[in-house]
Amino acid sequence: MPKRPQTQLKKGVLELAILKLISREELYGAALVAKLNAYPHLSAPAGTVYPLLSRLTANGLISNRWEESPKGPPRKYYSLTTKGKQTLTQLHQDFIDLSADMTALFSEEPQ
């Protein structure tokens, strides 16, 4: 079954959204999912977010540390690395440029 176009669009911006949220504060996975879900068009299940966190860690954009939780098992907290901060800045600019181009494209009169 083909994926909905909206799903494909969202996949492209989830990494940017995750990096932005983690840049604001250290977050553990479930808290990150909850913050994403506060934005209806960015909501994503844990099964989507955790593989992205693994990939961002493997690429050196985020790091993690374990911390004891007052409720339940220890939590893995994620934070942005220096490389992650640089990548976030570049991806943000790329997103702005792409959005501007798409806005211009949809504003043009048909020929």
Mean predicted confidence (pLDDT) in 90-110: 93
Helix (H, G, I), strand (E, B) or coil at 98: helix
**Averaged pLDDT of the chain:** 93
pLDDT in tens, 22-73: 999 999 999 999 999 999 999 999 999 999 999 999 999 999 999 999 989 9
Helix (H, G, I), strand (E, B), or coil: what is residue 10?
helix
Q: Is the pTM of this model over 0.95?
A: no
Q: How far apart are CA 53 and CA 58, in angstroms?
A: 9
Domains of the chain: 5-107 (1.10.10.10)
Question: What is the pLDDT, as a whole number, of residue 62?
Answer: 99
At residue 3 the predicted structure's pLDDT band, cuts being 50, 70 and 90, is: low
pLDDT for 1 beyond 50: no
100 contacts 111 by C-beta, under 8 angstroms: no
Q: Which comes out higher in pLDDT, residue 18 or 7?
A: 18
